[in-house]
Copies of this chain bind each other. A is one copy, B any other.
């Protein structure tokens, strides 16, 4: 019922897309907007560099344009929020970025947020974005686990590193809430939260929750 929320995973990985689909499943309701997850065939297997981020914007905009007519809202499911403002410009629908929503949701859960990034090279990109968002006064630190998107499926190694980084963010940097800095980390949220002992925000869930709320309110207004 209602206009769907399109969750665009701008890489080409079906594995990541399926994981996102599972992560947001609880947000589906019998009488609410559908939540449709899709990958971007033109995207790279994982978005890891600034070039990857910038390179997916045009195909993502084209894909969104095809979906525009019946869309209720868009979610861009990559922690660099590629094309967020270009899609807001292009579309008549609300557009949610998972980094933006993940960080903002974290601000309701703790006073200083930490971020678990995949690679060291992600960090300056994140810092620029948090600066643009104006949230650096609430920022504790952003540390990498040193694994690429493809490596995230190796469960033991990935979770172990996330716990190490999470504990450092908590203990050394004073973070009292953490944001997962990649759309492909959802499966580890619960175990990580138990291990580190502070709230962990899975950013795609945060964004889709806000998107569903928006579509429900918006459909009601225009009904």
Residues of A within 8 A of B (CB): 25-27, 29-32, 49-51, 53-55, 57-58, 61, 83, 85-86, 88-90, 94, 96-97, 100-101, 104-105, 107-112, 121, 123-125, 127-129, 131-138, 141, 174, 176, 190, 205-206, 208-210, 212-214, 216-217, 219-221
Contacts and interface: CB of A to CB of B under 8 A. Distances in A.
Nearest to A23: B217
Contacts of A213: 27, 205-206, 208-210, 212-213
Contacts of A219: 26
Contacts of A86: 49-51, 53-54
A105 B174 CA distance: 25
Given A26-B217, A27-B213, A111-B127, 10 more contacts: A27-B217, A51-B89, A54-B86, A58-B58, A100-B107, A104-B107, A107-B133, A134-B134, A135-B135, A190-B221
Contact of A104 (B104, B212, B220): B104
Given A90-B51, A107-B104, A135-B134, A29 B31 contact: yes
Given A26-B217, A108-B96, A217-B26, A54 B50 contact: no
A50 B208 CA distance: 24
B209 A212 contact: yes
A100 B89 contact: no
For A57, A127, A132, A221, which residue has the most chain B Cβ atoms within 10 angstroms? A132
B85 A128 contact: yes
A54 B58 contact: yes
A137 B25 CA distance: 35
A25 to B, nearest CB: 7
13 contacts: A29-B30, A49-B89, A50-B88, A94-B108, A94-B109, A96-B108, A100-B107, A104-B105, A107-B133, A108-B210, A128-B132, A131-B137, A209-B213
Contacts of A110: 124
A111 to B, nearest CB: 4
